[in-house]
Structures are given as C-alpha cells and as structure tokens.
C-alpha cells in the first residue's frame, strides 16, 4: 500500500444477506465504531436496504455502494436498477462484474464495460471486479484471463475519465467464500501485474492512482499482511463484513 498516493478502501459486500431491519442495525453499529477512521469505508447492502441504510450513514465516514446496476437511465427493464436511482439515494460506489454475477447472472466483459460507463456518467465510483477460476490458475492462464477482463472491461475509456475514480478488485474466484486466501506473494504478483497493465493500456498517472483491492476470504487475522503488500490498496470483504464488530476490526487493520 502506498498511502501517499492512494487512500486505502475497505469495502463490505453484503451480497444477498440481511433484511432492512438487520441492515439498518448493522449500519448503526458500524457508524459508532468508525467515527474516527483514516481509511475509506464502503458498505454495499442489498437493494431493498439501500435507501434505509443511506439515512443511517449520511454525514458519517461510511460510504454507500450498490452491488450491481443496469446501464440505462430508465425504461422497460423489469427487475433492474439504474445508476440514476442509485445516485438519487446517495450511493457513491457500485460493485461491477463481481464473479457471482458473471457466473450466475450472465454478466460478460461487454456488459461490465457498459455498466462501468454508466456508473462513471453518474459519478458512481466503479469497483470493477476481475479474477481467475481455480482451473484457469492451474492451467497457468491467470494473467491472460485478467488481461482480457481488464482490457475489455475498460475498452473505450480515456485515462482522464477514469482518474481518481476507478477501483479494481482482484478476487480470485477460488478464494471467494471458501476460506482459502491467496498467499501474499500471489496477491502482490497479480496486483503488480494489474497495475502494469493499467500503465500499458492507459498511462503511468492512472497506474499510480488506481486503487486495487484484494477480495477473497479476507478476515481480521489476515487483513494486515495483505494490506502490507505494496500494490494492495484495500479489501473487498464478503462474509466477514456482515458483522459490524468483525468488519470493524478489518477496517482497523494495523498499518
């Protein structure tokens, strides 16, 4: 992590967990814990809880994120949520292209690209997720898979349109929800690769400022060593973000 260039971001992805009451309760607890925090904190509750949680975190150091969005502003798209609706309730971030969406809901590099564009147009910070599966890692395809995801996901954007906004989350699919974390060497190797890829596709300025988060079984007892890697700028936390106490100890990692 290089805090002079990049403020760490610890993001909680609540996935399809919590009723409105449970989400509001967890958010309230978290607000009390994080009054004086020196990293950026974001939580992404399910859509039904976004507006009520927005009221709880308003004016606090916790930012609100969506777990997905559709790229149109409005229209006959049953079941979808637009970036306009998300901005309207105070969302600042949107997780885009999470591997669960790619795996179960048909997100592709092309739709991910359209979603990132829509997020940027509405001043939502995209948390753009990439990662290889276990089979791809074993076949030594990790770097080519990531190259394709990043290149296609960010196709057509200028460095200026992404600067100070883009967040990339490296989430090896085999480490999500499995309790298996990548080793710090594996994490650093991929993060350095992703940063150099951003430099190759865009420029040095964007490469230096883009925040690259690690995600996949991040817990209080492994967050510090992961965050100490030079190219890790934060964490995208699933399971361990559901409890305010546990997530709080991740937010207060030692650095």
Among the listed residues 25, 29, 74, 98, the single catalytic one is 98
Provide, rounded to whole angstroms, the least separation between the CB of residue 236 and ligand PGA: 4
Near ligand PGA by CB under 6 A: residue from 30, 237, 244, 251: 237
Which helix (H) or strand (E) element contains residue 91?
none
Question: Which DSSP letter does residue 183 get?
Answer: P
**Choices 72-80, 114-122, 189-197, 235-243 (CB under 6 A): range interacting with ligand PGA:** 235-243
Q: Give yes or no for a contact between 143 and 112, defined as CB atoms under 8 angstroms apart.
A: no
How many CB atoms are closer than 10 A to CB 158? 10
Near ligand PGA by CB under 6 A: residue from 1, 6, 9, 13: 13
Alpha helix segments (H runs only) across 71-212: 83-88, 99-104, 109-121, 134-138, 142-153, 159-162, 184-201, 204-209
Q: Give yes or no for a contact between 68 and 97, defined as CB atoms under 8 angstroms apart.
A: no
Which residues in the 178-217 window bind ligand PGA by CB under 6 A? 215-217
Provide, rounded to whole angstroms, the least separation between the CB of residue 59 and ligand PGA: 27
177 binds ligand PGA (CB under 6 A): yes
Q: Which is nearer to ligand PGA, 7 or 180 (CB)?
A: 180
SS3 category, 147: helix
Q: What is the phi/psi pair of residue 74, to 5°?
A: -165, 170
Residues designated as active site: 98, 171
**Positions in the binding site for ligand PGA (CB under 6 A):** 13, 171, 176-177, 215-218, 236-240
């Amino acid at each position: 992590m290089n805090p002079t260039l990049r403020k760490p971001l610890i993001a909680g992805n609540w996935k399809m967990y919590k009723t409105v009451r449970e989400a509001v309760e967890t958010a309230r607890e978290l607000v009390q814990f994080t009054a004086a925090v020196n990293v950026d904190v974001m939580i992404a509750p399910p859509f039904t809880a976004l507006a009520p949680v927005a009221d709880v975190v308003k004016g606090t150091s916790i930012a609100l994120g969506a777990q997905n969005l559709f790229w149109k502003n409005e229209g006959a798209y049953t079941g979808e949520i637009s970036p306009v609706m998300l901005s309207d309730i105070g969302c600042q971030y949107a997780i885009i292209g999470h591997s669960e969406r790619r795996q179960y809901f048909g997100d592709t590099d092309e739709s991910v690209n359209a979603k990132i564009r829509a997020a940027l147009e509405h001043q939502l910070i995209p948390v753009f997720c990439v990662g290889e599966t276990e089979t791809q890692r074993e076949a030594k395809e990790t770097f080519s898979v990531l190259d394709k995801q990043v290149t296609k996901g960010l196709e057509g954007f200028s460095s200026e349109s992404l600067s100070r906004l883009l967040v990339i989350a490296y989430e090896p699919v085999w480490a999500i929800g499995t309790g298996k974390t990548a080793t710090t060497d594996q994490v650093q190797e991929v993060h350095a690769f992703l940063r150099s890829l951003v430099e190759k596709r865009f420029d040095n300025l964007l490469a230096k400022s883009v925040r690259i988060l690690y995600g996949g079984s991040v817990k209080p007892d492994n967050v510090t060593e992961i965050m100490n890697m030079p190219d890790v700028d934060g964490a995208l936390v699933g399971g361990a973000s559901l409890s305010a106490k546990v997530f709080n100890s991740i937010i207060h990692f030692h650095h």
